[in-house]
């Protein structure tokens, strides 16, 4: 079953395990034991696996 983490309240319970959710406008989707996190920006999306640690802070979009 899928579970989404969109609001700050939803993210609170898993932010320690998945710090990438700190990314501005991030959306997390957990399917069984796999978490997919997208950091949404107005002009595109950067996606990282949970093992990427702080890589999300370097999210740059090519068309900027």
Instruction: Give the pLDDT of residue 5.
Output: 94
Helix (H) or strand (E) holding 11: helix 8-12
Digits of tens for pLDDT over the chain (64 positions)? 899 999 999 999 999 998 888 877 888 999 988 888 887 664 556 665 555 566 666 665 544 4
Instruction: Give the pLDDT of residue 8.
Output: 92
Instruction: Give the pLDDT of residue 1.
Output: 83
Instruction: Give the pLDDT of residue 38.
Output: 83
Match 């900027």 to its residue by tokens.
64
Q: Are 27 and 51 in contact (CB under 8 A)?
A: no
Cβ neighbours of residue 55 under 8 Å, at least 6 residues apart? 20, 48
Looking at residue 19, the DSSP 8-state letter turns out to be: G
The gap between the terminal CA atoms of the chain, to the nearest Å, is 36
């Amino acid at each position: 079953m899928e579970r989404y983490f969109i609001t700050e309240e939803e993210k609170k319970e898993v932010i320690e395990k998945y710090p990438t959710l700190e990314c501005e406008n991030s959306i997390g989707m957990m399917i069984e034991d796999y978490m997919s996190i997208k950091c949404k920006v107005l002009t595109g999306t950067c996606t990282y696996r949970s093992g990427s640690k702080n890589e999300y802070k370097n999210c740059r979009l090519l068309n900027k």
